[in-house]
């Protein structure tokens, strides 16, 4: 072959640069076009609501609190929900068996409280991951004969990460082996929650869900916390709500229970939710009665969806059928080009943190085989310092990595580190779907070493 002279090479380079410039110019407007196509109509609605709130601060009014009861299995969630429902719901259909719609509402001393009766922090966290937080207050139930257990810690971390105020109900105090003091000691030691009567700020109510003891006090405390939180809503106009349950009913077709957060939803209204739309054909309240209008904090089962909406999506009332259809069209177009959400990976942590506007905290979910190893790991992680990244163990627990851990990771953009524990198959599948990184270790040194390398941007990506 022939070598180019310096001049020739320069000439070619110049032509090439010019060519690149031309190509870039022609591509540029197109890039912009595809970007504008990608606007999510749901984001538009979200933005509209944000503005509505900002511009009408003076019109916002108090709304009833929505409460979720969480805790370890068998500590009494269902019994408590049943007790409150049976003793405090005044209006019951005569002789009728009311079917649960996933939430109910009580009227206590002239004030309403809405309870979500699908216990489980997975649903809670999934809602948050979708930006649809339904819960205003969490009641963390701890059985006084069993104390703080793994799922108590898990539930607590889910609530804490969602920034939802927590009231502790110490349950089963009727049992001879109930030990309230020991339970409180464990609250302090394992949850870092100090009961009010011990000088802390965690409202703690001893109850017996079975005997109905302490329930009034608990409801009073819920109302008190609600008042302090200033839970507010925009009461007029089109509705906004959170879907807490949805299904295809054999007889009724697609149905979904929504807790209205703002505005009013009326029979005949058009609405959108997730990637579907509908027109309210019928609304059923938790007592099985048909209602024509539902307002803030009211749970209602809605009939009239085109398709079963995604669980935990947000329902927005819209003015016209045209608007609803336009929304769905845009949503469907968007779904076709869905890009997987970018979640943090250990090896990219430094790069991501250095980017403008990205988070500066590397959130970690840590699962270990024993309390001892969990504590040791937490201490070792706390010692890893870095000016650019803050490491935060947002949840530490004992036992296998579960789907619930992955949900929390999705909601908080965390990586999951397992030490001498497996990830169950549900967790693995969900993590793949949500693009969440799970790393497992059998040697403490390796785990810490990987974190160190990640902080320096020197961790090699996995195969
Ligand atoms: P969940 O798994 O948290 O929903 O717990 P459950 O409500 O199903 O309660 C588990 C068991 O504890 C059931 O047998 C209840 O009857 C019992 N239980 C719940 N609350 C109390 C209580 O206050 N006192 C006593 N003695 N037993 C209770």
CA nearest neighbour of 135 among 50, 253, 242: 242
279 in a known ligand binding site: no
Q: Whose CA is nearest to atom 2 of ligand 1?
A: 74
Q: Whose CA is nearest to atom 24 of ligand 1?
A: 172
d(CA 62, CA 84): 23
In terms of pLDDT, which residue wins out, 36 or 134? 134
Is beta strand 137-143 parallel, antiparallel or unpaired with respect to 111-116? unpaired
229: number of Cβ within 10 Å: 13
In terms of pLDDT, which residue wins out, 24 or 240? 240
In terms of pLDDT, which residue wins out, 67 or 343? 67
**Predicted pLDDT of residue 122:** 66
In terms of pLDDT, which residue wins out, 158 or 181? 181
d(CA 281, CA 275): 19
Q: Residue 265: in which H helix or E strand, if any?
A: strand 265-266
The per-residue DSSP string of 166-208 comes to: EEEEEE-TTSTT--HHHHHHHIIIII---BGGGTSSB-EEE-B
| Contact yes or no for 415/346 (Cβ under 8 A) | yes
Tokens found for residue 101 = 């719609």
Q: How far does residue 205's CA lie from ligand 1's centre (Å)?
A: 16
Specify which residues 418 forms β-bridges with: 367, 440
Residue 365 has pLDDT above 80, yes or no: yes
Please, how many CA atoms are within 13 Å of residue 242, restricted to the half-sphere of its CB?
A: 21
**Predicted pLDDT of residue 371:** 86
Split at pLDDT 50, 70, 90, the class of 164 is very high
Q: How far does residue 90's CA lie from ligand 1's centre (Å)?
A: 24
Q: Whose CA is nearest to atom 17 of ligand 1?
A: 76
Ranked by mean pLDDT, the top range of 24-33, 92-101, 186-195 is 186-195
249 in a known ligand binding site: no
Residue 3 has pLDDT above 90, yes or no: no
CB under 6 Å to ligand 1: residues?
A: 71, 73-79, 119, 171-172, 174-175, 208-210
Cβ-Cβ contacts under 8 Å for 134 (sequence gap 6 or more): 66, 68, 116, 127, 242, 244, 259, 261, 312
**What's the pTM?**
0.74
Residues 123, 129, 135, 141: is their CA dihedral positive or negative? positive
d(CA 116, CA 133): 12
Q: Please give the C-alpha separations between residue 42 and each of 49, 116, 288, 401, in angstroms, as whole numbers.
A: 11, 25, 31, 32
3-7, 341-345, 456-460: which has the minimum mean pLDDT? Answer: 3-7
At 196-236, the pLDDT tens digits run 999 999 999 999 999 999 999 999 999 999 999 989 999 99
Cβ-Cβ contacts under 8 Å for 388 (sequence gap 6 or more): 350, 353, 354, 360, 455
**Predicted pLDDT of residue 434:** 86
Q: Considering the chain, what percentage of its residues have pLDDT values greater than 70? A: 85
Q: Whose CA is nearest to atom 6 of ligand 1?
A: 76
CA nearest neighbour of 329 among 32, 36, 34, 37: 37
**Predicted pLDDT of residue 459:** 83
71 in a known ligand binding site: yes
76 in a known ligand binding site: yes
Instruction: Find the angle CA(397)-CA(403)-CA(409) to the nearest 5 degrees.
Output: 70
């Amino acid at each position: 072959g022939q070598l180019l002279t310096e001049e020739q090479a320069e000439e070619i380079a110049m032509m090439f640069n010019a060519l690149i410039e031309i190509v870039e110019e022609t591509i540029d407007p197109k890039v912009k076009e595809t970007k504008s196509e990608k606007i999510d109509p749901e984001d538009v609605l979200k933005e509209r609501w944000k503005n509505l709130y900002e511009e009408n601060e003076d019109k916002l009014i108090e709304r009833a609190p929505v409460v979720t009861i969480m805790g370890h299995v068998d500590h009494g969630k269902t019994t408590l929900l049943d007790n409150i429902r049976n003793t405090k719901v005044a209006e019951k259909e005569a002789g009728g068996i009311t079917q649960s719609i996933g939430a109910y509402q009580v009227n206590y001393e002239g004030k309403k409280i809405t309870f979500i009766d699908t216990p489980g922090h997975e649903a809670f966290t999934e809602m948050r991951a979708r930006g649809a937080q339904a819960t205003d207050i969490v009641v963390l139930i701890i059985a006084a004969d069993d104390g703080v257990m793994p799922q108590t810690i898990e539930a607590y971390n889910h609530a804490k990460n969602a920034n939802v105020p927590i009231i502790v109900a110490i349950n089963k105090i009727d049992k001879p082996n109930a030990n309230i003091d020991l339970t409180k000691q464990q609250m302090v030691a394992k949850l870092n929650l100090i009961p009010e009567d011990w000088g802390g700020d965690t409202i703690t109510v001893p109850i017996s869900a079975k005997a109905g003891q302490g329930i009034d006090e608990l409801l009073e405390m819920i109302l008190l916390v609600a008042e302090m939180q200033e839970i507010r809503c925009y009461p007029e106009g089109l509705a906004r709500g959170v879907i807490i349950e949805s299904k295809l009913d054999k007889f009724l077709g697609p149905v979904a229970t929504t807790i209205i957060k703002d505005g009013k939803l009326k029979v005949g209204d058009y609405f959108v939710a997730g990637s579907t739309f509908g027109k309210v054909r019928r609304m059923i309240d938790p007592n099985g009665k048909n209602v024509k209008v539902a307002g803030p904090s009211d749970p209602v089962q809605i009939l009239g969806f085109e398709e079963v909406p995604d669980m935990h999506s947000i329902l927005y009332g819209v003015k016209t059928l045209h608007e609803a259809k336009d929304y769905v069209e845009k949503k469907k177009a968007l779904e076709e080009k869905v890009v997987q959400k970018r979640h943090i990976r250990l090896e990219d942590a430094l790069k991501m943190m250095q980017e403008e506007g990205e988070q500066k905290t590397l959130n970690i979910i840590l699962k270990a085989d024993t309390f001892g190893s969990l504590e040791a790991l937490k201490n070792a992680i706390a010692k890893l310092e870095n000016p650019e990244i803050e490491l935060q163990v947002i949840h530490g627990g004992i036992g296998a990595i579960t789907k619930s851990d992955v949900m929390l990771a999705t909601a908080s953009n965390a990586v999951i580190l397992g030490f001498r524990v497996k990830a169950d198959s549900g967790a693995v599948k969900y993590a793949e779907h949500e693009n969440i990184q799970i790393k497992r270790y059998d040697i403490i040194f390796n785990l810490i070493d990987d974190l160190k390398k990640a902080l320096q941007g020197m961790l090699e990506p996995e195969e």
